[in-house]
Structure 1
Amino acid sequence: MKKLILNSLILLLVFTTYGQTTATYDIVFTSNWASHGTLPGNAHFTELVGATHNNNITFLEMGGFATPGIEDVAELGLFGDFSNEVNTAIAANNADQFIEGPNLFPTSSNLTIKISDLTVSSDYPLVSLASMIAPSPDWMIAVNSISLIDNGGQWIPEISIDLFPYDAGTEEGTGYSLSNNATNPHEAIAMLSPSNSPFNSDKIGTIVFTQKQLNVQDFNTQKNYITISPNPSDGNISIHANQSSTIKEIEVYNVLGKQVRRYNFKQSNSNINLNLSNLNAGIYLVRLHTNSGTTETQKIILR
């Protein structure tokens, strides 16, 4: 009897999903460079590059020294070495993906860089980004380890951050120029002082992380081949796929269409237990994707 109980507990742990979720975000950087006076010829931000990662690694930070990859981004707008640093972190299970966005010429009518549909895992909820302010010695904009999950484990719907010019501490120069002597030894990454640079105290731009939102009316709530019980529930629900279907992905949305959970399964299953007890009480829509390519959405009530 004890062995039977132990085996039942093991099966429950195998098929109950507690931890990893994903959320999808748009990232938009809007330039405010024009507020700093006359822009140099060919003024631009180079490709906005970065990574999603955990707190075991820091790619750049104020007061720290630039890695070779960040040095190349800040001085030349190149990111091959930085990509290698991210891939090394991915191999060590400290990062999930390298991010490469477009560049931006703020002298044109377009003042924004947009990275669309970035899927972020709860195992790697931190985002770091950098882009060269060009032309310059080693100036850049940067975001260090911004968490898209709050202290309660919930995905944050929107984060807005004002950005200021940073000096990577790797090359001399106080004006808009590319050919300068190296800083030897290197200095720590620091905010550029308005007293010895072409910038004033204004922000140089704003970056906004926005979680993707779907229109609730677009959901098909017709029940077909999948049952969810109990419903209403205290947060512990069982999902059973009838007939020959198995479930490969589950998305959970609140009534406003905001995605609050997402689960991807390496092996699709016919029976899955979910623990949603840390969500607030209310009505949610559970969207289920099967191995046969069908999608079904059902309404659940959490008490």
Structure 2
Amino acid sequence: MAQRSRMQLLSLLLVVGSFQVEVIAACGGEEMANYRLEFQGLWSERTFPKSFPKYRKNAQWSTLIGVSHNDQYSMWEPGRSASVPFKDFAEGEDPSGKGLQIEMVNLPNGFVFAAKSLSTGTGRSVTTVFVHRDHSKISLAVGLIPSPDWFVGISGLDLCEGGSWRKDPLQLDLQPWDAGTDGGFSFTSPDYVSNPQEPITQITAQYPNHPANSFFYPKLEALPPIARVTLVWQQAGNEDSSWMGKLVPGLGKAGRRDSNEDIQMPGDSPENVSPGIDLPTEPEIVIPYDCEVTPWGSWSPCDTLCKVGLRRRFRLIIQRPKNGGQDCPDLITVEACQAKLTKPQKKCSKARIKKETKKYMKIQRRNYMGKKKRNRFIA
């Protein structure tokens, strides 16, 4: 009996020993790694011309909030409902992500990171990301301002791949996501609370399939990236953890908060972060945006010009063309009310219709294109 117990104990020690070797060998035997993370906003009027927010609340980005974690935690996930802290963040009620930070700093051995907000749709911000072999995944989110509840981000990206840390520069193009808590279609939509709350879904050029959707470009197969994240592995010893104290006072290396102080806005800046690798800059993608017009209105009563009854109908411009998009079609149709015309009547009415159409289009194009360009678009 004693011999059997000794054999069981020996087997157990062998199993534990092999498990320990496996853990130590994880990620090439390196327990920790740190990465330089750069967020680049690509939200411009040339790339996303439809309903581009230029006034009052112009296009801008919220604070970038992120965390390193394991499979036991999910900051956000496609197809699932957003948590209350994430809902507040995505809807702009908590653009600094204070609620999310409180939720994440209680993770054992997880590391919270952040990068400053951007006051325009284009620009860059940087920070440092720390990962542990037991918490090798990262998630992050950046809110679009203004928007109902739209954001870009990364969910559960594992930086330990194939038993070692990813050391080649990693560049990820980001697309917009809908947090599912607000039902607005455009950047500046009023608050329409989604009841019941919908799951987090990706916004595409065809979805939501609604003409009021600010990202609805039915002629495109896919939207161009609205933002980009670059991750560059750094040699051990290059990290600068001073940003962590600026983000959360009392936060230790284990990612815990040791005091009851309020969380502060991150104060990171490029000089606080080790220099990264300059990756090739891709040319800006420009989306031509064609002119949009209303349906034709009803016909006017007939008049008696040229001793021929003429009638007219009109349509209006909804959106002028941008970025070399197709020019607006005719906004007026003039035709004879009578079915049969004599030769003099045909000649007179044809000249009159051409002259009236040209004059009306000249006025309308001057209104939507400006005086400097009007001569180029005279019919």
Q: Same fold (TM over 0.5)?
A: yes
Aligned pairs for 1:72-83 (under 5 A) are 72-76=88-92, 77-83=95-101
Does the C-alpha gap of structure 1 residues 212 and 178 become closer, same or farther in structure 2, counting only changes over 3 Å? farther
**Shift of the alpha carbon at 1:78?**
4.2
Q: Does 1:36 align with 2:36?
A: no
Aligned with residue 228 of structure 2, among 194, 206, 214: 206
Aligned pairs for 1:1-303 (under 5 A) are 21-34=31-44, 35-37=47-49, 39-40=52-53, 41=55, 42-76=58-92, 77-88=95-106, 90=107, 93=108, 96-107=110-121, 111-115=123-127, 117-177=128-188, 179-194=190-205, 195-196=209-210, 197-199=213-215, 200=217, 201-213=223-235
Structure 1 Cα separation of the partners of residues 73 and 48 of structure 2? 33
Worse-matched range after superposition: 183-192 or 29-38: 29-38
Are the counterparts in 1 of residues 149 and 182 from structure 2 also a CA contact under 8 Å? yes
Structure 2 Cα separation of the partners of residues 123 and 165 of structure 1? 30
Are the counterparts in 2 of residues 172 and 180 from structure 1 also a CA contact under 8 Å? yes
Q: 2:234 corresponds to which letter in structure 1? A: K
1:150-176: CA deviation from partner (whole Å, max 9, x where unpaired):
122333332211100100000121111
1:74-106: CA deviation from partner (whole Å, max 9, x where unpaired):
101241221122133x1xx3x512222111133
Match of 1:254 in 2: none
Does the C-alpha gap of structure 1 residues 20 and 213 become closer, same or farther in structure 2, counting only changes over 3 Å? closer
Q: Residue 36 of structure 1 aligns to a residue in which SS?
A: coil
Q: How large is the Cα RMSD of the aligned pairs?
A: 3.1
1:12-59: CA deviation from partner (whole Å, max 9, x where unpaired):
x8xx96556111211112122111116313211100001110112211
Q: When the two structures are aligned, how many residues end up with a matched partner?
A: 201
Are the counterparts in 1 of residues 111 and 130 from structure 2 also a CA contact under 8 Å? no
Worse-matched range after superposition: 49-58 or 36-45: 36-45
Q: Residue 79 of structure 2 aligns to a residue in which SS?
A: coil
Does the C-alpha gap of structure 1 residues 177 and 150 become closer, same or farther in structure 2, counting only changes over 3 Å? same
Normalization by structure 1: what TM-score? 0.59
Structure having the higher helix fraction is: 2
**Shift of the alpha carbon at 1:71?**
0.6
Structure 2 Cα separation of the partners of residues 137 and 165 of structure 1? 12
Structure 1 Cα separation of the partners of residues 196 and 81 of structure 2? 11
- The structure showing larger relative contact order (alpha-carbon pairs under 8 Å, at least 6 residues apart) is 1
Normalization by structure 2: what TM-score? 0.48
**Bigger radius of gyration, 1 or 2?**
2
Structure 1 Cα separation of the partners of residues 135 and 154 of structure 2? 15
1:177-214: CA deviation from partner (whole Å, max 9, x where unpaired):
26312100000000114344212421111111111258
Are the counterparts in 2 of residues 20 and 123 from structure 1 also a CA contact under 8 Å? no
Structure 2 Cα separation of the partners of residues 122 and 39 of structure 1? 42
Are the counterparts in 1 of residues 68 and 130 from structure 2 also a CA contact under 8 Å? no
Match of 1:228 in 2: none
Are the counterparts in 1 of residues 43 and 59 from structure 2 also a CA contact under 8 Å? no
Match of 2:289 in 1: none
Q: Residue 231 of structure 2 aligns to a residue in which SS?
A: strand
Q: 2:113 corresponds to which letter in structure 1? A: I
Worse-matched range after superposition: 176-185 or 127-136: 176-185
| Consecutive unaligned residues in structure 1, runs of 5 or more | 1-5, 215-248, 252-265, 267-303
Q: Residue 105 of structure 2 aligns to a residue in which SS?
A: helix
